[in-house]
């Protein structure tokens, strides 16, 4: 089956997921995670990309980001993946691939889904039962978005900024969103969209984008996510 063509449009946020090959770990300790973020920090300005949210899990990563140029996210992920694999293989005296094929991506409708997707990413360690609260997990953007701690790789999106006029009130308002988990319907929508490289958006939004950019997104199949694809 031919690969579906990617449509990575400038100035629109994308939820990106990359997984370790065969579900194997791509991070073994905090040193690995720190190195990944360091490499990411180098490449973000080089490709004119802003990162709004992230979480680094043992065998996969979630990123929410916006590029200024079409296709820049692909170039970022290629360079990030290559440089991190070089570090990882050297540190662990290994050879071969680390990632499970191409990364997955999903365009995010800012009006309806942006903050939901951002919360979904930052709640990943809680859903995985690694911690009780998102604040208990060190390697995520929750500490920037919900606590106001400076994380150099994170740039707030305008949707997040519009939560309040001041930083203090903004983080308080954002933190209040975590009083309830992401609802089941939204969980299913996010997982289905990322698994099929399909927009996380209303049908009217998808139609509008399709017509504006002459894009055929194909179909997003209904049903449960594939086994192992529910993080």
Domains, the chain, ranges and CATH?
A: 13-200 (3.30.70.1290)
Q: What is the mean pLDDT of each run of 10 residues along the chain (231 residues)?
A: 71 97 96 98 98 98 97 96 97 94 94 96 97 97 97 97 97 96 95 94 92 83 49 63
Cα 60 to Cα 33, 73, 124, 146, 149, distances in angstroms: 11, 17, 11, 22, 24
CA 105, CA 119: separation in Å to the nearest integer?
Answer: 17
How many CB atoms are closer than 10 A to CB 50? Answer: 17
Q: Please, where are the H alpha helices in 67-183?
A: 72-91, 114-122, 124-127, 142-145, 158-161, 167-176
Cβ atoms of 40 and 87 within 8 Å: the answer is no
Cβ atoms of 141 and 88 within 8 Å: the answer is no
Q: Is 155 exposed, middle or buried (0-12, 13-18, 19+ CB in 10 A)?
A: middle
Cβ atoms of 152 and 41 within 8 Å: the answer is yes
**What is the pLDDT, as a whole number, of residue 4?**
60
Cβ atoms of 73 and 51 within 8 Å: the answer is no
CA 104, CA 16: separation in Å to the nearest integer?
Answer: 6
CA 49, CA 16: separation in Å to the nearest integer?
Answer: 13
How many CB atoms are closer than 10 A to CB 183? Answer: 10
């Amino acid at each position: 089956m031919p690969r579906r063509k990617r449509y990575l449009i400038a100035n629109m946020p994308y939820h990106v997921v990359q997984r370790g090959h065969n579900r194997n770990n791509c991070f073994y300790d905090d040193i690995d995670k720190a190195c990944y973020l360091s490499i990411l920090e180098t490449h973000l300005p080089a490709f004119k990309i802003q990162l709004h949210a992230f979480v680094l899990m043992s065998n996969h990563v979630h990123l929410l980001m916006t590029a200024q140029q079409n296709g820049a996210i692909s170039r970022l992920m290629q360079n990030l993946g290559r440089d991190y694999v070089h570090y990882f293989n050297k540190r662990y005296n290994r050879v071969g691939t680390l990632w499970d094929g191409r990364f997955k991506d999903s365009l995010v409708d800012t009006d309806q889904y942006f903050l939901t997707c951002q919360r979904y990413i930052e709640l990943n360690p809680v859903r995985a039962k690694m911690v009780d609260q998102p604040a208990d997990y060190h390697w995520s953007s929750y500490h920037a978005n919900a606590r106001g701690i400076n994380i150099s790789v994170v740039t707030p999106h305008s949707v997040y900024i519009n939560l309040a006029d001041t930083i203090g009130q903004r983080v308080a308002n954002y933190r209040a969103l975590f009083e309830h988990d992401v609802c089941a319907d939204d969980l299913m929508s996010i997982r289905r969209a990322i698994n099929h490289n399909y927009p996380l958006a209303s049908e009217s939004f998808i139609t509008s984008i399709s017509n504006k950019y002459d894009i055929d997104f194909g179909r997003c199949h209904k049903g449960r996510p594939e086994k192992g694809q529910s993080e």
